[in-house]
Structure 1
Amino acid sequence: MNNIEYVSLQDLDKNELQKILNKGKVREHLVSHDEFDQASLEDWIAGKVKVDSSKGCKVKGIKVNGSVAGWCGIQFEDEAYELAVVLDEEYWGIGIRVFKEALGWASELGHSHVVLHLFNTRPEYRFLRKMASRVYESTIFGQKYTSYEIKVPYA
């Protein structure tokens, strides 16, 4: 059984996080951006830490069995609270567990719904469509996404 731990992004091994965020398989699913170097990663982490301290938001690093696995959170983007999960491909199998945990955070934060944006090149996820109150195409930073508006349980 995988032990999943949610920690401050500042507490992750930065070299490991940088490797994950720069991997081609991970980048295929993210907003296009230059690869991170040490300085840009520090800036990105500082920005996410600021988001984490914002009302209605929570952003955490993910460790699995003590190893850096990625990050996740609830952040305010494009006029809505977005649920984000970014995992090293080695840990994609825990994605649903992380997703459910983040939905719990959204409930604790008092959100009635969150939006999950997935590149529209990805296949449709039936379980997301079932959960979604609305599924629509969106454009963020010039890239097209399938967006799932998900009702937060217990909100």
Structure 2
Amino acid sequence: MDIEFKLLGEVQKSDIIDLMNNQLVRRQMPLLTGKFDENTCSKFIEAKETLWQNHGYGPWAFIVKGQFAGWGGLQMENGEADMALVLHPNYWGIGKLLFKKVIDKAFGEMGLTSITVLFPPTRTRIQGILRLGFIKEGKYQVGNEEFIRYRLNKPVK
């Protein structure tokens, strides 16, 4: 499958705005409140690019067959690499493939020993991440929202 990783600033803001205003996407993102407009998008891109500058990694835009499919990757969360994967519903079927590409980067070229993922407690369909090897660590607070944190350790070879 033709997949590219680009910086968020390299894609059309309108594509990001459409994604972040999609009701199916928003349902999984309790920190995403209010309208996600062009001004919000500019601040979002700037914040994500700052992660790259400060930590050497951050989220990418996922381009599938030339089309923006979503964004995600690793970003610093309280001193740890936390994974995000935000896809347009039309691309939910390729989440596992994108996950594998991000994990290969994390445990390969980046040399990380573990990553985390944060899910809102309302997200009850978690069997997929458990099958991938994530282990539940417990509750984690971001702003005024509570999440459940899961950790994936680098496989021992």
| 1:59 positional shift | 1.9
Q: Superposition RMSD on alpha carbons, in Å? A: 1.9
Amino acid at match of 1:122: R
- Residue 138 of structure 1 is matched in structure 2 by 140
| CA distance in structure 1 between the aligned counterparts of 2:105 and 2:11, rounded to whole angstroms | 20
Q: Return the letter of the residue paired with 1:24.
A: Q
**Aligned pair in 2 of structure 1 residues 7, 105: CA closer, same or farther (>3 Å)?**
same
Structure 1 unaligned runs (5+)?
A: none
Q: CA deviation at 1:21?
A: 0.8
Number of the residue aligned with 2:126: 125
Q: Percent identity?
A: 24
For residue 54 of structure 1, report the CA deviation from its aligned partner. 2.8
* Partners of 2:147 and 2:55 in 1: CA distance: 26
Give runs of aligned pairs for residues 25-40 of structure 1, distance below 5 A: 25-30=24-29, 31-40=31-40
Q: What's the CA shift for 1:83? A: 0.7
CA contact (8 A) 2:116 2:149 kept: yes
Runs of 5+ unmatched residues, structure 2: none
Q: Under a length normalisation based on structure 1, what TM-score does the superposition of the two structures give?
A: 0.88
Whole-angstrom CA distance in 1 between matches of 2:101 and 2:154: 11
Shift of 1:77: 1.2
CA contact (8 A) 1:56 1:75 kept: no
SS of equivalent residue, structure 2 residue 54: coil
Provide the C-alpha distance between the structure 1 equivalents of 2:37 and 2:154, rounded to a whole number of angstroms: 36
Q: CA–CA distance in 1 between the matches of 2:154 and 2:38?
A: 36
